[in-house]
Amino acid sequence: MDIFSEEQFITKPEPTTSRSHKFFKTLTCSTDIQGNCYYAQKIVSIYPKIYWMEFPSKEKIAHIADTIKAFSDQNSFLVWNLSQTKYDTSFFSSQVAELSYSKYSWLSLNYIMMTCKAILKWLNSDPSNIAIIHCQSSKRRSAIIMACLLCLLRVFDSPLESLTYFCKVSLFL
């Protein structure tokens, strides 16, 4: 069976004019004792209703959660944790899907497709829903899932184009 012929795989999320679905990048500059600027958080719009964020470390989790809640409608976001590290999901009103992968193994094609299918199902279940995806430090897992999502949505014709786009907008800011 051709998976690309399934309606839920190729249905693009409905665009909205809501403030939560505009392309958005945020780099919050905080200062240390010497007045040096450092970035406290990074959340990047990859496609309407699909965002990438950095791993919510203990130092940043409250600020990242507050930022997400400020630009999304109540209960309209779901954070997809692709890392092997669990954290306190109460900061995100427990709206976190924790997808456990082995620390050193590559993602199986089946797991990639099941993850993409779940994300698309979430996005299509309500016009106000947004997906926020992260892994931990290397961004490999996020990049693979994002590239596959963009191909399934037919934003790009090839995985290489999709991956290149994701790297440009998220990894090299």
pLDDT digits (tens, 9 = 90+) for 82-136: 988 889 999 999 999 988 666 556 778 888 999 999 999 999 999 999 999 998 8
Higher-pLDDT residue of 36 and 134 is: 134
- pLDDT above 80: residue 41: no
CB atoms within 10 A of CB 25: 12
Which CATH number characterizes residue 29's domain?
3.90.190.10
Which residues have CB under 8 Å from 67's CB, separation 6+?
Answer: 26, 28, 41, 43
Give the residue carrying structure tokens 């954290």.
87
Comparing 63 with 3, which gets the higher pLDDT? Answer: 63
Which structural domain range is residue 99 located in? Answer: 3-171
| 31 against 138, higher pLDDT | 138
- Domain tally for the chain? 1
Quick one: CA dihedral 62, 54, 42, 115, positive or negative? negative
Maximum alpha-carbon separation in the chain: 60
Q: Hey, CA dihedral for 95, 125, 120, 40, is it positive or negative?
A: negative
- Please state the rounded mean pLDDT for residues 20-47: 53
Q: Give the CA radius of gyration of the chain.
A: 16
